[in-house]
Chain A
């Protein structure tokens, strides 16, 4: 593994260098006045003028928007009767252009791997995954809403990243972790880090909060039906307003729905984000809705993340980024839900 030391200017130059002939995105600096057509709210294309400094904690919106875009065009068609191809579903050209995401945190990097479990055979996710390069920033400090360590990650973690950048005093240490990362750094003259610096980083990593699977293990051992019937869901469901603030900003929520949109005879079949909090989410064509009540929807969100997903894949579907905790209008806190679940006998 190559390890380099960069100053702020060298870091900015490197990132801006990439943006000369590639799409490079970063978390938006401050409140956005507009969004790019190719870029979701909360992210912006790297511009020459803004130095790459990040506030502590994860970006406002998660990295999933680059791998699981809102929306993804799956097929296109025309309904014009003059067109001989009328009604034929066509696959749009798959994007192959590389996209470099700079400034994601270890929690978001882990989320990409977690979502890859259900999306393993999903052609759209796989195409996006193959063209995405992730240059992450490790966390020197955890925010009050961060709990990545409790979910199996850690603030200094590098899992899922191509390049991991850690701030050390005034400069940055870049660990190049994959061949793709090497390709990106090969173009530039960089100063290798001193052994002492590498050791200091390793020391810091050792002393940072470590991935802990204790809660996962306990929850795995619990009977699903008992948790499902627990009394806590009633209270939670009563205060939840069933919005999409938690699931849309969550990096590990990956549900979608499919719709056709036709504008002046030109149609596209898109998949767009859905949320188990929405009443239409599980509505059957018969009109029956197995999750017709608010409480059932709230319960599903947590049971999916903390029980169903782990039963199937062995890991929580949550990376502890704390976005849902921060954004929930009624302060439903997944950490409290977890301890309540652990207390269910």
Chain B
């Protein structure tokens, strides 16, 4: 019996092949096999005969929407920065999308980064992606040489061991708390749709930090980010980060110091998180790619919570309305704004 993922892989290959063969799309963004256990390579396929290398499994942790604007551009006829847009319809691109990734495509469309008409969404319900880090921590000190995936278990193999573990137990935190595994955009359905998951409080991890005293919160923040090496993998893996020059890279003026000063590192993370407010879908790509195992996702998750509680909005769920931070209403809650009067009162 083929596993769920083997069936999905087969379907993805068939659909991608058909879309490329009849010229509906010029490229398909998917995943191919990785060179290490629990890794996959994001891959752009441009020829129908190459579709056999596409795979789907529990280790597809990067958000493929991240590649969409660039791949869309790559299939346009080449033109200079000031040349007008060519006449006629431009070639399309197909992209695999789970619940969160599809919501990112909605945000990209709202922000005019992506032309929805040029995208064919291969919608696939996510069963939750596995955290390679969680598995490695469970097997600390032992080298994992192969991981075989079944529907509900993973078999972890090393030179002198073979152990079965429950798949859900090592699914990423963001996936475990996710309520919408099914894509909100589907042009071509892969596999079966999934229903909403019940979760009375998806923000439990954030609440735990909020419950701390301000000193403890500061201790958490400084400790959590102390090992950041400023490689910016978290930023670069994020489909929301598309500024041509990021504020941390800018050298003229230099907004943030460039070395490993705790203040600079903290500033980078706080500002990055704020830039994602109302736009982040909690896809977890940032956290998954961090080489140092930092849980920077807690910051964006906190902002997701605030945007939901203050404005009743969730990224990618209201395609027709403006993004929460690009608009305002006269009755917007503003209790969090520190006014001079309030500051004086508190100081008394």
Chain A interfacial positions (CB closer than 8 Å to B): 31-35, 40-42, 55-56, 60-61, 70-71, 143-145, 235, 238-239, 241-245, 248-249, 257, 259, 261, 270, 272, 275, 278-280, 294, 325-327, 329-333, 335-336
In the bound complex, what is the Cα–Cα distance between A325 and B232 (angstroms)?
17
**Ranked 3 nearest A-B pairs via Cβ:** A329-B289, A71-B259, A244-B231
* Chain B residues whose CB sits within 8 angstroms of the CB of A335 once the complex forms: 35
For chain B, give the interface size range: 35 or more
* Chain A residues whose CB sits within 8 angstroms of the CB of B251 once the complex forms: 259, 280
In the bound complex, what is the Cα–Cα distance between A13 and B59 (angstroms)?
44
CB pair B237 A331 closer than 8 Å: no
Contact of A270 among B141, B226, B259, B288 (CB under 8 A): B259
CB pair A243 B227 closer than 8 Å: no
In the bound complex, what is the Cα–Cα distance between A325 and B41 (angstroms)?
12
* Chain B residues whose CB sits within 8 angstroms of the CB of A235 once the complex forms: 44
CB pair A41 B229 closer than 8 Å: yes
Interface flags, B199-238, vs A, CB<8A=1, else 0: 0000000000000000000000011001111111101110
List which B277-292 residues lie within 8 A (CB) of chain A.
288-289, 291-292
Q: What is the minimal beta-carbon distance from A71 to any residue of chain B, in angstroms?
A: 4
CB pair B230 A244 closer than 8 Å: yes
| B42 contacts chain A at the CB level, 8 A cutoff | yes
| B152 contacts chain A at the CB level, 8 A cutoff | no
| B324 contacts chain A at the CB level, 8 A cutoff | no
In the bound complex, what is the Cα–Cα distance between A33 and B223 (angstroms)?
5
Question: In the complex where A280-B251, A326-B36 touch, is A34 in contact with B231 (Cβ < 8 A)?
Answer: no
In the bound complex, what is the Cα–Cα distance between A326 and B233 (angstroms)?
14
Contact of B236 among A56, A60, A242, A248 (CB under 8 A): A242
In the bound complex, what is the Cα–Cα distance between A34 and B245 (angstroms)?
30
CB pair B258 A145 closer than 8 Å: no
Q: A32-B226, A243-B289, A333-B35 are in contact. List 4 more A-B contacts (CB 8 A).
A: A70-B229, A71-B260, A280-B251, A331-B41
In the bound complex, what is the Cα–Cα distance between A176 and B33 (angstroms)?
45
Contact of B291 among A249, A275, A333 (CB under 8 A): A249
| B49 contacts chain A at the CB level, 8 A cutoff | no
Contact of A241 among B66, B141, B230, B245 (CB under 8 A): B66
CB pair A245 B231 closer than 8 Å: yes
| B122 contacts chain A at the CB level, 8 A cutoff | no
Q: List 13 A-B contacts (CB under 8 A).
A: A32-B226, A33-B226, A70-B260, A144-B143, A144-B145, A238-B44, A243-B233, A244-B233, A245-B231, A248-B231, A259-B257, A329-B62, A331-B36
| B40 contacts chain A at the CB level, 8 A cutoff | yes
In the bound complex, what is the Cα–Cα distance between A5 and B233 (angstroms)?
44
Contact of A56 among B71, B143, B229 (CB under 8 A): B143
* Chain A residues whose CB sits within 8 angstroms of the CB of B231 once the complex forms: 243-245, 248-249, 275
* Chain A residues whose CB sits within 8 angstroms of the CB of B44 once the complex forms: 235, 238-239
* Chain A residues whose CB sits within 8 angstroms of the CB of B41 once the complex forms: 239, 330-332
Interface flags, B137-165, vs A, CB<8A=1, else 0: 00011010100000000000000000000
| B339 contacts chain A at the CB level, 8 A cutoff | no
* Chain A residues whose CB sits within 8 angstroms of the CB of B260 once the complex forms: 40-41, 70-71
Q: What is the minimal beta-carbon distance from A324 to any residue of chain B, in angstroms?
A: 10
Q: What is the minimal beta-carbon distance from B204 to any residue of chain A, in angstroms?
A: 22
Chain B interfacial positions (CB closer than 8 Å to A): 34-36, 39-44, 62, 66-67, 70-71, 74, 140-141, 143, 145, 222-223, 226-233, 235-237, 245, 249, 251, 254, 257-260, 288-289, 291-293
Question: In the complex where A259-B251, A329-B237 touch, is A245 in contact with B291 (Cβ < 8 A)?
Answer: yes
CB pair B259 A279 closer than 8 Å: no
CB pair A144 B36 closer than 8 Å: yes
CB pair B227 A32 closer than 8 Å: yes
CB pair B223 A244 closer than 8 Å: no
* Chain B residues whose CB sits within 8 angstroms of the CB of A248 once the complex forms: 229-231
CB pair B254 A259 closer than 8 Å: yes
Which residue from chain B places its CB closest to the CB of A40 in the assembled complex?
B260
CB pair B291 A327 closer than 8 Å: yes
* Chain A residues whose CB sits within 8 angstroms of the CB of B62 once the complex forms: 329-330
CB pair B259 A272 closer than 8 Å: yes
Q: What is the minimal beta-carbon distance from B93 to any residue of chain A, in angstroms?
A: 12
Q: What is the minimal beta-carbon distance from B41 to any residue of chain A, in angstroms?
A: 5
* Chain B residues whose CB sits within 8 angstroms of the CB of A243 once the complex forms: 231-233, 235-237, 289
Q: What is the minimal beta-carbon distance from A267 to any residue of chain B, in angstroms?
A: 12
CB pair A41 B227 closer than 8 Å: yes
In the bound complex, what is the Cα–Cα distance between A330 and B71 (angstroms)?
16
Q: What is the minimal beta-carbon distance from B244 to any residue of chain A, in angstroms?
A: 8
* Chain B residues whose CB sits within 8 angstroms of the CB of A41 once the complex forms: 226-229, 260, 292
* Chain B residues whose CB sits within 8 angstroms of the CB of A244 once the complex forms: 229-233
* Chain B residues whose CB sits within 8 angstroms of the CB of A32 once the complex forms: 226-227
In the bound complex, what is the Cα–Cα distance between A40 and B34 (angstroms)?
30
* Chain A residues whose CB sits within 8 angstroms of the CB of B249 once the complex forms: 278-280
In the bound complex, what is the Cα–Cα distance between A249 and B233 (angstroms)?
12
Q: What is the minimal beta-carbon distance from B212 to any residue of chain A, in angstroms?
A: 15
* Chain A residues whose CB sits within 8 angstroms of the CB of B237 once the complex forms: 241, 243, 329
Q: What is the minimal beta-carbon distance from A9 to any residue of chain B, in angstroms?
A: 21
* Chain A residues whose CB sits within 8 angstroms of the CB of B245 once the complex forms: 279-280
Which residue from chain B places its CB closest to the CB of A72 in the assembled complex?
B259
Q: What is the minimal beta-carbon distance from A205 to any residue of chain B, in angstroms?
A: 22
Q: What is the minimal beta-carbon distance from A43 to any residue of chain B, in angstroms?
A: 10
CB pair B34 A34 closer than 8 Å: no
Q: What is the minimal beta-carbon distance from A332 to any residue of chain B, in angstroms?
A: 8
In the bound complex, what is the Cα–Cα distance between A278 and B249 (angstroms)?
8
In the bound complex, what is the Cα–Cα distance between A243 and B238 (angstroms)?
11
CB pair A34 B226 closer than 8 Å: yes
* Chain A residues whose CB sits within 8 angstroms of the CB of B227 once the complex forms: 31-32, 35, 41-42
In the bound complex, what is the Cα–Cα distance between A84 and B226 (angstroms)?
38
Contact of A145 among B36, B223, B288 (CB under 8 A): B36
Which residue from chain A places its CB closest to the CB of B141 in the assembled complex?
A55
Which residue from chain B places its CB closest to the CB of A333 in the assembled complex?
B35
CB pair A61 B42 closer than 8 Å: no
In the bound complex, what is the Cα–Cα distance between A244 and B36 (angstroms)?
20
In the bound complex, what is the Cα–Cα distance between A63 and B301 (angstroms)?
35
CB pair B233 A261 closer than 8 Å: no
* Chain A residues whose CB sits within 8 angstroms of the CB of B67 once the complex forms: 238-239
In the bound complex, what is the Cα–Cα distance between A117 and B145 (angstroms)?
36
